[in-house]
A and B are shown apart, each in its own frame.
Chain A
């Protein structure tokens, strides 16, 4: 048996984009949107892995691929020692209840017509499991809705954003899943609430030994609860390592950029911001995908795509990771 609960091997997801009128007339096919482009990922039992990147980096698609909410274009998904991307829907259903998802928007993810007790017990009912009030109350309490009796009969509109997200977490956890993808679970909440909601995720992680893939664009969120961080850029992993190593000694220029723009109390805006925005996944730059925005880019970066390799305890895909780390390469000032 493998030590990994979930893994993706060379996972790729290309979405077809709609043809423009010109492409329609000429019969040309538009380039696909390469959302995830050959990613290897392993999640250990009971760990919280943070998947970090900007919007458009493919992190949500990767999460959905691992849950098979999205069928991979190529590559494999393994769960608990079984390959599950090629099994029939009936077999897959047995795996479904062992994995869950927590969404970003607590205003859109709860059925407004159901009471909290119905929302949280629905997964049990769907799976033919007896609904016990004690169990609902326990899960609400662990989620921080105390006393739980006060919340069981409420409707979502009577709850604050933070309370809604707690309900969404309780619903995701009530089946005691082994694997949960939490997609930006705190980014719509007040900053002062974030730490507490992340604490709820950590509590369930410890209580049920659930593995989490925590998708976030905010490294401060990853810092609090994750044991490992994986940084994605345009469908590829650019850096991966334990949380402390990635945050204290970021090796990839993109990771360094993400770290430099995290707001710090009493800090100031970074002097150098990356140029422009993340390119379209329809039109991925040649060579290193980050070279168009990288302050260290050299000619080789636009021709050769770097492979992930081990540098100082982390896996990094940058030709010059060692030089950047030792400071022997300078940022271009342009």
Chain B
């Protein structure tokens, strides 16, 4: 029933810096099904964007990649740079964070959408323009707006243009990195609706990256929670939101301000995320965890199975059940 499009196995992305090795992504296992929207949530610095970059292979020179990225049965990490050029942007596309602000200010948006179709799609100029207008219409940019320059468009429309460019090659996987930050709540909902519609219409698989778990929970089928370079919990939306098992997921969910809680402060997560150069041994959340105990120091980060879809990497979950007493 679950046809996998992408299987990430023990993926590691390390950066060699003067201060030491930054373990931005440190042994991630994750899969994405065909036509599925997977939400990847975590705080700033958790490695979620780096994971997206690794899938697109747009990493700086000091990055070291290890593990396997199986996409439709092919191990993408074994591809040479030239071979990967045929995958990047064509089969896997990404809407980068802030890409709506990276549009060329002196080119009409329809011409910008047409440009890659001429360069990479081999279309003639007229065909490309026609196709660009179709693509823009698909994402809700009307024909008169398509002739605009970026500064004449609102943030929401610019984001639609960025999405049109990403899907212009009909990719199988779309990575959307914080596609709605800096947008208003109304526009945010409209963009999320658009992404779900694209999935429904084209069977597109989507990895949606955000720090906003409530937003992800509205559009994603499954949620993966990332902390300090590792996935700490993954499950269906209902499992993660209603029965979170990892203490970090629980804390993250509790910290979100809600319109239902009038006049109440949401409890914050104490402390700061760990230093990615010297992460604590064992469970990386242990220094901030209310349930920390001595076994946590030895914990290997294994994701224990809670159901066929739900997994969490916490000693309290695996093995024998342990009574939970907050520290």
Contacts and interface: CB of A to CB of B under 8 A. Distances in A.
Interface of A: 54-55, 160-161, 190-196, 198-199, 202, 217-221, 223-225, 243-244, 247-248, 257-259, 261-270, 273-274, 277
B89 interface: no
Given A54-B186, A190-B43, A257-B186, A265 B217 contact: yes
Contact of B258 (A202, A223, A261): A223
Interface stretch (B70-78, B265-273, B303-311): B265-273
B262 A190 contact: no
B31 interface: no
Interface stretch (B53-61, B120-128, B129-137, B206-214): B206-214
Given A223-B263, A262-B185, 20 more contacts: A54-B184, A190-B43, A192-B211, A192-B256, A193-B43, A193-B255, A196-B265, A199-B265, A217-B185, A220-B259, A223-B258, A223-B259, A223-B261, A263-B215, A265-B214, A265-B253, A266-B241, A266-B242, A273-B189, A277-B186
Contacts of B241: 265-266
A259 B188 CA distance: 13
B268 A193 contact: yes
B148 interface: no
B216 to A, nearest CB: 8
A41 to B, nearest CB: 21
A263 B154 contact: no
Contacts of A192: 43, 211, 251-252, 255-256, 268-269
A224 B193 contact: no
Nearest to B253: A265
B70 to A, nearest CB: 31
B107 interface: no
3 nearest A-B residue pairs (beta carbon): A195-B266, A196-B268, A266-B241
14 contacts: A191-B214, A191-B255, A192-B256, A196-B255, A196-B265, A223-B261, A223-B263, A224-B262, A224-B266, A257-B186, A259-B259, A264-B258, A266-B237, A277-B154
Contacts of A258: 185-186
Interface residues of B, number: 47
Given A196-B268, A223-B259, A269-B193, A191 B238 contact: no
A191 B257 contact: yes
B282 to A, nearest CB: 23
A270 B188 CA distance: 12
A210 to B, nearest CB: 18
A261 B188 contact: yes
A190 B303 CA distance: 25
Interface in B207-230: 211-215, 217-219
Contact of B185 (A194, A261, A268): A261
Contact of A220 (B187, B192, B258): B258
B277 to A, nearest CB: 15
B44 A277 contact: no
Given A54-B186, A265-B213, A224 B265 contact: yes
B101 interface: no
A247 B264 CA distance: 14
